[in-house]
Amino acid sequence: MSINATIDRVTDRIRNRSHASRAAYLKKIARAAEDGPRRAHLSCGNQAHAYAAMPDKDDMANTRKPNIGVVTAYNDMLSAHQPYERYPDLIRRSAHAVGATVQVAGGVPAMCDGVTQGRAGMELSLFSRDVIALATGVSLSHDCFDAALYLGVCDKIVPGLVIGAATFGHIPAVFLPAGPMPSGLPNDEKSKVRQQFAAGEVGREALMAAEMASYHSAGTCTFYGTANSNQMLMEFMGLHLPGSSFVNPNTPLRDALTVAGVERAAAITKLGNHYLPAGEILDEKAFVNGIVGLMTTGGSTNLVMHIPAMARAAGVLIDIEDFHDISESVPLMARVYPNGLADVNHFHAAGGIGYMIGQLLDAGMLHEDVKTIIGTGLDGYTTEPKLTGERVVWEDGAKETLNDKILRPVGDPFAVTGGLKQLEGNLGRGVIKVSAVAAERHVIEAKARVFSDQEAVKAAFKAGEFTEDTIVVVRFQGPRANGMPELHSLTPTLAVLQDRGLKVALLTDGRMSGASGKVPAAIHISPEASVGGPLSRVRDGDLIRMDATMGTIDCLAEDFDNRRPATFDPGPSSEGMGREMFSVFRATAGSATEGAGVVV
């Protein structure tokens, strides 16, 4: 099947936009690779320090066995990352069995957005991505590794690791997932209890019981938020083994996939005949494939910022117009919470990523001619892993959906477009995700209520101040103001107003969680208010029109362009909970439309 005309056009646009930066990047990683395995150039003293604690240090010093570095986001506070505790020993045994050695090169921080939602710590969340990239760089700076394994799952962790992997793009990279927790309390039931609590209909005891029944085990949260969107992305981009993203933790198949990942990392170093540096995999076609996957699954809007940042690290320049155009050209094939009632375990059982990739390849909506960690071509990602004894083998994946309420073919999708829209007007430029928003709410024209933080919105709600259709403007939430926290804790409040029959929407230069759904939210508005962006000129009572159909976002006040902007008071968000240490990040962060990066 020939490639879809829009996918081809967008890919060409990205290639042309990135011509100089991508060429410079490829030259850089070629220079880094040209001397052969880097550790061969370490002095005897350097090597002695590097291998002193290893039981097989003599092999390290005197043979050409591949040495694999592990960069891990393990901690036992995040349910998604707790399974990584047992990975190093399994990885070492697997590497030794194929004549390789392994060292844990370093750890990277991994914070849980579910813990920090609505709290001061959330203002460090986005910047943790760049810290992770920096920590990855420190881990790999010892120059001892012929390949790297990356252990990470959640929101900022995978993007940060990819930025690091791209920066060390001459080193082959294999990403090893940990998998989702088994299904617990259905996500829609949990959401209902949250709304009941916000409305004062149930107490904290009922809320806590629902939350604990939903988040109940080791593994990724089962809704289709940023963490699971990351896992989808790594598979669509060829950095995971096929079918490995949504296999539950601590199962025989999960362990077998980890073993296979180690074996593959050992096979693709420059010491062998199948050298596959990460930087060659991370080209414009891989990122386009990732965007297609994001749109056709109804994935997290956080990736609209993370993908440009990851791509920039590999010399590829992506704009939000690319997301918009791809979204308009691909169908929505999946309904996974918050875009439906199913969770990722149900999605995986219905045919999952392999089924979707097969459908999209047949329809010409993905680039097949890409490099992946398993070789050349994306067709291998239509297979699914099965156990034969303790070994994993790949068999043909599902050719038909096994549940058309969750997963549908390209020719009979849930919607003809991916559901993400670019918004542009006199209020700036941003995005809105409408895949879970009812069609009658795609256009909202209402008066503005302006706030400078989310707590003020909740206070106004509790005071009964929202009595008419309202566009809630929460400004000074961009990366250069307070680090661009997610505003997900507003979702239950706004959902209650919507359920009362009001038309409500959120307009912000901040972010919403990948779990946010049915309330229309225009997010990532740039330029942000703290640098004099248009949101700084909005006043209470202004009539605002948010039109996801036409892709516009405008303030209709006649004097809007001539107003003096409101000024940002950094005091409340400049200190406490470590925020003072991130002042240099806030001062230098890029715009949301370019990935809000500090290190890229």
CB-CB contact of 368 with 246 (8 Å): no
Expressed in angstroms, the distance from the first to the final Cα of the chain is 36
CB-CB contact of 552 with 424 (8 Å): yes
What is the identity of the amino acid at 181?
Answer: M
Q: Which residues pair with 388 in a beta bridge?
A: 391
Q: What are phi and psi of 284, to 5 degrees?
A: -65, -35
Measured distance CA(237)–CA(80) in Å, rounded: 21
User: What is the DSSP pairing of strand 504-508 with strand 470-474?
Assistant: parallel
Burial of 32 (0-12, 13-18, 19+ CB in 10 A): middle
- What are the Cα distances from residue 351, in Å, to 333, 396, 397, 407, 427? 12, 11, 7, 8, 42
Tokens read off for 246 = 């949504």
Q: What are phi and psi of 396, to 5 degrees?
A: -55, 135
Tokens 């559901």 label which residue? 419
Verify cis geometry, omega within 30 degrees of 0, for the bond prior to 527: yes
Q: Which residues pair with 67 in a beta bridge?
A: 101
158 SS3 class: helix
Range list of β-strands (E), 303-427: 371-372, 375-376, 383-388, 391-396, 420-425
Burial of 468 (0-12, 13-18, 19+ CB in 10 A): exposed
CB atoms within 10 A of CB 454: 24
Residues annotated in a binding site: 154, 221
Residues annotated in a binding site for [4Fe-4S] cluster: 154, 221
- Going by the DSSP 8-state scheme, the letter that residue 395 receives in this structure is E
Q: Provide the total of helices (H) and of strands (E) in the chain, helices listed first.
A: 21, 16
Q: What are phi and psi of 252, to 5 degrees?
A: -55, -40
Tokens read off for 296 = 């056709």
| Residue of 522, 503, 502 whose CA lies nearest to 512 | 522
| Residue of 522, 524, 452, 458 whose CA lies nearest to 496 | 458
| Residue of 575, 478, 455 whose CA lies nearest to 532 | 478
Tokens 């009362």 label which residue? 500
For 105, half-sphere exposure in the C-beta direction (CA atoms, 13 angstrom radius) is 24
Measured distance CA(8)–CA(12) in Å, rounded: 6
400's CB contacts (< 8 A; 6+ apart) are: 351, 409
